[in-house]
Chain A
């Protein structure tokens, strides 16, 4: 396949960025999107140019590092992570535009790499449980109804990639935060901090300058892990409950 790439290049945090066009020939449809970028970078290195910086780690869709916006869609045209996207999803001769996540809370570090530590601070604000340490408890010490366990597991599959923020017209991190609130709130271990967790996480996400949620639904539509939109309503219920109890 012959592919024309338009890639966002930006030297550092405070530099101006711009789109740069590259042409690639002989791209295999079986390559993953990141392998295609590897090929580009080998070519750039041989030409003594600066390779395109992009984030990645597991390359198997579980770490959440690799997000970029491809042709205007977070993680590109398939509902999966960029590393699990393959070139067969494109056509020979296509021009593909690749941009970093764009949000004030995700500043560009270099080219396509953004700093997502704002997510870490939201987790630090309340996305944990205070558990006693020691040996692992008995498997059945804490019976949990199957539907609750399923919902908690579904919400726990969030990999913190940030696609929800990238796609949201408000650049809101609500789906990410809601997945954590739902995950921990469905389980008995999450109850002691349940009321304060939601308030603290929301305050932190406001402080990080994420936008406000207006229930548009782009987040859930692009989420590679299929985190459902109704987690946001669950977060809102928890929040209303906390505010009602005067926590906040």
Chain B
């Protein structure tokens, strides 16, 4: 859970950085997307790096989901429906930790939609294109405000997921000490905020006509 999660967090940061290139114009963005496909060429075949990368990502996602389902099932077994509390108070737990499981499901559904939209481009609001930049700009036009809204909602869910996930992963990897606990929680909050803001900026900028 923690290791696969860490790979996904690193991926998210890199992905967010790539997306922000949209503010440098079509050439920079498409050039960046293109360079990912050429990375390592001619040492690797064209798209070779990208596919290695995708396989590592897919493996991490599957391991992450498998562990999450296993933990969920264990929790249900450990306190079966017949033993639910009539009254249960949350004493300490954060909203973020409360939404990890259903939030994770939401994010998984979003990722499927998202790949069909911007990578495979079979869902193409505003028209399909060979240029990743144009796909992006087409998809987030003002008349597709609901697409933007869905992206923003999903990214906020990712933010909450990271807020608890980063802290929890660090604790599982044995990093937590009483003295460090506030620091670790702050690190998780800061990364979650940066990733959330970094991801929502491009779609919002396009919808509000600042880019494109």
Q: Which residues of A contact B (CB under 8 A)?
A: 6, 8, 19, 69, 71-73, 97, 99, 102-105, 167, 169-172, 209-218, 220-222, 228-230, 232-234, 236-237, 240
CA distance A103 to B80 in the complex (A): 8
Interface 0/1 of B175-199, CB less than 8 Å to A: 1111011000000000000000000
Size category of the B interface is 20 to 34
Q: Quick one: which of B144-200 are within 8 Å of A by CB?
A: 164, 167-168, 171-178, 180-181
Do residues A73 and B89 form an inter-chain contact, with CB atoms below 8 A? yes
Total number of A-B contacts with CB less than 8 angstroms? 109
A233-B174 in contact given A72-B88, A97-B86, A217-B93 (Cβ < 8 Å): yes
Residues of B within 8 A of A233 (CB): 171-172, 174-177
From B71, B92, B171, give the contact of A232 (CB < 8 A).
B171
A215-B85 in contact given A103-B79, A222-B91, A228-B178 (Cβ < 8 Å): no
How far, in Å, is B73 (CB) from chain A's closest CB? Answer: 10
B83 on the A face (CB < 8 A)? yes
B74 on the A face (CB < 8 A)? yes
How far, in Å, is A243 (CB) from chain B's closest CB? Answer: 12
CA distance A215 to B188 in the complex (A): 13
CA distance A234 to B85 in the complex (A): 31
CA distance A7 to B164 in the complex (A): 35
Do residues A216 and B93 form an inter-chain contact, with CB atoms below 8 A? yes
* Seed contacts A103-B83, A105-B78; 15 additional CB < 8 Å A-B pairs: A72-B87, A97-B86, A97-B87, A170-B75, A170-B79, A171-B75, A211-B75, A214-B71, A217-B93, A229-B181, A233-B171, A233-B174, A234-B174, A236-B173, A236-B174
Do residues A215 and B171 form an inter-chain contact, with CB atoms below 8 A? yes
Residues of A within 8 A of B90 (CB): 218
How far, in Å, is B78 (CB) from chain A's closest CB? Answer: 3
A99-B78 in contact given A214-B100, A218-B92 (Cβ < 8 Å): no
Do residues B178 and A170 form an inter-chain contact, with CB atoms below 8 A? no
Do residues A240 and B75 form an inter-chain contact, with CB atoms below 8 A? no
CA distance A220 to B86 in the complex (A): 22
A170-B176 in contact given A102-B84, A236-B171 (Cβ < 8 Å): no
From B71, B86, B87, B92, give the contact of A217 (CB < 8 A).
B92
CA distance A215 to B1 in the complex (A): 12
From B78, B84, B87, B177, give the contact of A170 (CB < 8 A).
B78
Do residues A104 and B87 form an inter-chain contact, with CB atoms below 8 A? no
Residues of B within 8 A of A213 (CB): 172
A230-B80 in contact given A72-B87, A211-B74, A214-B71 (Cβ < 8 Å): no
From B88, B97, B172, B178, residue with most partner A Cβ within 10 Å: B88
Residues of B within 8 A of A169 (CB): 75, 93
Chain A residue, CB-CB nearest to B70: A212
CA distance A212 to B86 in the complex (A): 22
